[in-house]
Homo-oligomer: A and B are copies of this chain.
Amino acid sequence: MPETIPEDSVGLVEPQRLRFEEPLELASGRTLPEYELVFETYGELNADASNAVLVCHALSGDQHAAGWNSMEDRKPGWWNNLIGPGKAVDTNRFFVVCPNNLGGCKGSTGPTSTNPETGKPYGPDFPIVTVGDWVRSQERLMRRLGIARWAAVIGGSLGGMQVMQWAIDFPDSLHSAAVIAAAPRLTAQNIGFNEVARQAILSDPEFHEGRYHEHGVVPRRGLMLARMLGHITYLSDDAMRAKFGRELREGRIHFGFDVEFQVESYLRYQGKSFVDRFDANTYLLMTKALDYFDPAGDYGDDLAEAMRRARARFLVVSFTSDWRFSPARSEEIVRALLAAGRDVSYARVEAHHGHDAFLFPIPYYVNVFRGFMNRIPLEG
């Protein structure tokens, strides 16, 4: 954390926690008898609770979207560039809520939580959850916070998929919807990458069918490989070229299998540090939620038909160098919204960062996002 808190920062924040004792029936047919959601909030809820914004996180994200959790934090929350006083999502105006998703590993009920039926951690017995399940758990959170309708639901990547599902499943519970760097569903290639990541974890001898904690180990190698692979798909070829080129870490080739190119060093570091902060069972669950996401599937494979249920005004944003969820995928969403007669703005942002661009304060992106948020009328 910087020595003085920047004026456009939400500053120090503490995660909050709510317990839900009403069972949640899941898409898989299984039921979570009870669960907790951990979340952070930024800004203040206004008198008529009309200024609340729900932020949905992506694959490896969590509830810590902005500010710092302690004076020792090296980095702020994952969307700190976009959320704060005067920022695109202006906490002087909005009350922002960001929960950790069910199945997560940062405090919400997930594989590392205690299974009330056995008294032991769920581990691999935690049910597979879908984007629809998450949205229903978030809707309960909304009601518990005394909010009847979100001013906006916003998110990038897997977060943007939750936004779409919100707009379809609870059309009257959100005014606006920002779907950023997302896709209407995964391609076979996307699923292929997820499958390699899963196999890396599942085939790690220290995975122990998901009961690794009982064996006092974690599937480090598998989770590290999954993260390394993920990172390649988050960055564009150009971004990697700009960041690393073909630079050698020590200026010369060694003819060995230690790190030689800077990009190898970066990927190994990213892989290793991820293992210390993320749970392998959660990673598996998140990739499955991605694979299964297919809102058109419930409407005869017609995304426009699905979007006809929606009532929100939409912002869709894509980034030119994003090859994980390319602009063409966002444009499928835009076309479906237009065919459904919905109110939609679309921005195709020139950016070299690849999929990760949605995390960066790229001026055009920030301005479009800010304009969209500022035009949400607040009553209270």
Contacts and interface: CB of A to CB of B under 8 A. Distances in A.
Given A228-B195, A232-B193, A240 B203 contact: no
Given A188-B246, A189-B240, A255-B28, A264 B195 contact: yes
Contacts of A185: 246
Max count, chain B CB within 10 A of own CB: residue among A27, A192, A202, A224? A192
Contacts of A284: 257
A241 interface: yes
A24 interface: no
Interface string A248-284: 0000010111001111100110010000000000001
Contacts of A203: 221, 224-225
A30 B235 CA distance: 37
A198 B257 contact: yes
Interface in A291-329: 291-292, 294, 323
Contact of A232 (B189, B267, B268, B288): B189
A323 B268 CA distance: 24
Interface in A184-238: 185-189, 191-193, 195-196, 198-200, 202-205, 221, 224-225, 228-229, 231-232, 235, 237
Given A240-B187, A241-B187, A292-B253, A263 B225 contact: no
Nearest to A271: B199
A74 B193 CA distance: 29
Contacts of A155: none
Contact of A291 (B200, B237, B260): B260
B257 A196 contact: no
A146 interface: no
A246 B256 CA distance: 40
Contacts of A198: 257
Contact of A246 (B127, B191, B260): B191
Nearest to A284: B257
Nearest 5 Cβ contacts at the A-B interface: A188-B240, A28-B255, A203-B221, A188-B263, A189-B237
